[in-house]
Chains A and B, each alone.
Chain A
Amino acid sequence: MRKTSLDTLLAEGGRSNEPLLAVDNLHVEFATRAGLVRAVNGVSYSLNPGETVAVLGESGSGKSVTAQAIMGILDMPPARIPKGEIRFHGTDLLRLSEEARTQVRGQRIAMIFQDALSALNPVFTVGWQISEMFRVHRGMSKRDGMKKAVELMDKVRIPAAKQRVNDYPHQFSGGMRQRIMIAMSIALDPEVLIADEPTTALDVTVQAQIMELLAELQRESNMGMILITHDLGVVADVADKIAVMYGGRIVENATVHEIYKSPAHPYTKGLLESIPRVDLKGQELYAIKGLPPNLLDMPTGCAFHPRCPYRQDNCVTDVPPLHEISGTRNSACHYWREVLDGDQR
């Protein structure tokens, strides 16, 4: 790895026991014409090398905005980060200069987007777009960059990479395009990979290929991965830790086994129970009633209270803190004990 001023900075700022990446009490808000939208309200999670953290949530829960804040690709304004830290090796990225930030973005922390077709530029060849990473960040020549691009396309298992390096994005299938996105993101050996719904637009068979590829790349390089998704199946397959988001907050975080065995927040519990199961065929599915919250008009107290079967009076007035249940898990519910025990509904 190149020695840069940033490395020195990271080394100086870094405390030895810091996780690779720590999001700490992050707030993000957007000034819109309709009013102030608080998209992220105090989100914290951490990531260690080789670990996969899944951020689970519905649209509007703030999961992608958090990721964009980590990458530093939020449009500011209208976005604003009034509070919070994003520490990478102990250094708060939000306080870095734009120049230092650019050195982190793409090189140390990289991102894969959901829709590969719109994330790739249709008027440049895929080889050109992959090699751009090397030309811009490493100052390589066009020829060397192209050579590297072929290597990477081989690595993400695109057949006949040498012949296809000069093809345009539309000439590839959805799965192959997503592989090209992955090739670009791992080009500079990042330490953190953020995958924002990487397989949502793909068929299950292709999804299995892509998830296998990501797992393999992660094993090879010991990357930390943040997987943003709404798919409870994918999460159960690959995640080590889960952070469940609702209405811009983390409502529960725990290890993957803990959550699936006994959820400690009514929202998580509702999501898990609404998955169709064989033994319940023919019966009505459990459905969380009501609608996800409107970010412009958030419910008072706990954002989930209008939909919650465990609701008591104080849920309407008091915002539940993130209660510590054990060393590895937290739940933002006043009644997490009842939820853990189960059957009161």
Chain B
Amino acid sequence: MATKGERILEVRDLVKHFPLTQGIMFKKQIGAIKAVDGVSFDLDRGETLGIVGESGCGKSTLAKVLMALERPTSGSVKINGRDIAKARGAELKRMRRNIQMVMQDPYTSLNPRMTVGDIIGEPYDIHTEVAPKGDRARRVQELLEVVGLNPDHINRYPHQFSGGQRQRIGIARGLALQPEIIVCDEPVSALDVSIQAQVINLLERLQNEFNLAYIFIAHDLSVVRHISDRVAVMYLGKVVEIGKDVDIYDKPAHPYAQALLSAVPVPDPEGREQRERIILQGDPPSPANPPSGCRFRTRCWKAQEICATEEPLLQIRPGTTHESACHFAETHDVVHVS
């Protein structure tokens, strides 16, 4: 296995538009939902990139494109230097082994008619070269043990497990093909509070053990901070700020990142009356028709004329330590996320 710190995933100018059509017989494209609109980032082996943003900002579409479940409109997703977005047939199948997913809802993402052994072993049916038939049951039991479940429960059904245990089954399935990258789409948000910490600890332990790289999508910002090495903030299909976790949380530069962080309730009542809170008005605009220039300008308190005409690029701005996409970026400590 290669060493830690080596680049494993390169995403460049990734765009995913879903066409909006009109008419039944002769479908005419009248527009497009710009779900992901020019996203670039890198991921190293053993690293965790957290992705945060409101619903509808394109987080989950991004995950699907990375997994090659959706084909991008343009742009590239390079895993170990090879573009999964352009791969077809046998090559695509081989590449998919290397990037796996843990889903949000452990209640709907496991087939209720399959035993746990069949669920975790199903990847081996597709990728028969990974484990020979006679070896599978043993492998599945090993995986169950790795995620902290009883290997004797291999013939049980999902309904016989609790939510946290089911999420462990989902994680075991993700590990079955020994991938290098795991995309976690809201892996703990459906779980009870007292169970969330157990699953987060498990994910961290597995990362150390197998040198996994995680794309960690979540809306709980304190969980993201705990697990991530770097964090990307998305708004309407674009990354508006990306940097090391300390930079994003302690020195956010983009107004949206500041608003998002300040909106997070702090689990400490001391000084709650004095806390500064930026409350954004309204809802995000439709991704079918995003504002010109900076997409955040319609809700931004700093917006000037230039914001409507010129789109701010994601770059390191004067006085800040990391990349942000705002003409008037300046660091401002709003953080109460503890």
Q: Which of B184-223 contact A (CB under 8 A)?
A: 192-198, 200-201, 204-205, 219, 221-223
Asked if residues B270 and A281 are in contact (CB atoms below 8 Å), the reply is no
Q: Which of A266-282 contact B (CB under 8 A)?
A: 270-272, 274-278, 281
Considering the complex, give the chain B residue whose CB is closest to the CB of A261.
Answer: B270
Report A-chain residues with C-beta under 8 Å of the C-beta of B219. Answer: 203-204
Report B-chain residues with C-beta under 8 Å of the C-beta of A58. Answer: 192-194
* Stretch from A146-154, A217-225, A284-292, A312-320 that touches the partner: A284-292
Asked if residues A205 and B196 are in contact (CB atoms below 8 Å), the reply is no
By size class, the interface of chain B is 35 or more
C-beta contact mask, B2-16 vs A, less than 8 Å → 1, else 0?
000000000000000
Complex partner residue of A274 from B55, B193, B337, CB under 8 angstroms: B193
C-beta contact mask, A235-264 vs B, less than 8 Å → 1, else 0?
111010000000000000000110011000
Closest CB of chain A to B332's CB: distance in Å?
17
* A261 to B270 alpha-carbon distance, docked (Å): 9
* Stretch from B38-46, B68-76, B152-160, B257-265 that touches the partner: B257-265
- A234 CB-CB contact with B under 8 Å: yes
- B280 CB-CB contact with A under 8 Å: yes
Main SS of chain A's interface residues?
helix
Considering the complex, give the chain A residue whose CB is closest to the CB of B161.
Answer: A291
By size class, the interface of chain A is 35 or more
Report A-chain residues with C-beta under 8 Å of the C-beta of B338. Answer: 275, 277-278
Asked if residues A236 and B194 are in contact (CB atoms below 8 Å), the reply is no
Closest CB of chain B to A197's CB: distance in Å?
13
Q: Which of B210-241 contact A (CB under 8 A)?
A: 219, 221-223, 225-226
* A207 to B267 alpha-carbon distance, docked (Å): 15
C-beta contact mask, A190-216 vs B, less than 8 Å → 1, else 0?
000000000000011111110110000
Closest CB of chain A to B159's CB: distance in Å?
13
Given A205-B263, A205-B280, A274-B193, CB of A287 within 8 Å of CB of B222: no
Asked if residues B195 and A257 are in contact (CB atoms below 8 Å), the reply is no
- A233 CB-CB contact with B under 8 Å: yes
Given A236-B272, A276-B222, A284-B204, CB of A271 within 8 Å of CB of B266: no
Considering the complex, give the chain B residue whose CB is closest to the CB of A201.
Answer: B55
11 contacts between A and B (CB under 8 A): A203-B219, A205-B54, A205-B259, A206-B283, A230-B193, A236-B266, A237-B265, A257-B269, A274-B194, A285-B197, A292-B192
5 nearest A-B residue pairs (beta carbon):
A233-B265, A276-B226, A287-B197, A274-B197, A208-B263
A interface residues with partner B (beta carbon < 8 Å):
58-59, 159, 173-176, 203-209, 211-212, 230-237, 239, 256-257, 260-261, 270-272, 274-278, 281, 284-289, 291-292
B interface residues with partner A (beta carbon < 8 Å):
54-55, 162, 164-165, 192-198, 200-201, 204-205, 219, 221-223, 225-226, 245, 249, 259-260, 263-270, 272, 277, 279-283, 337-338
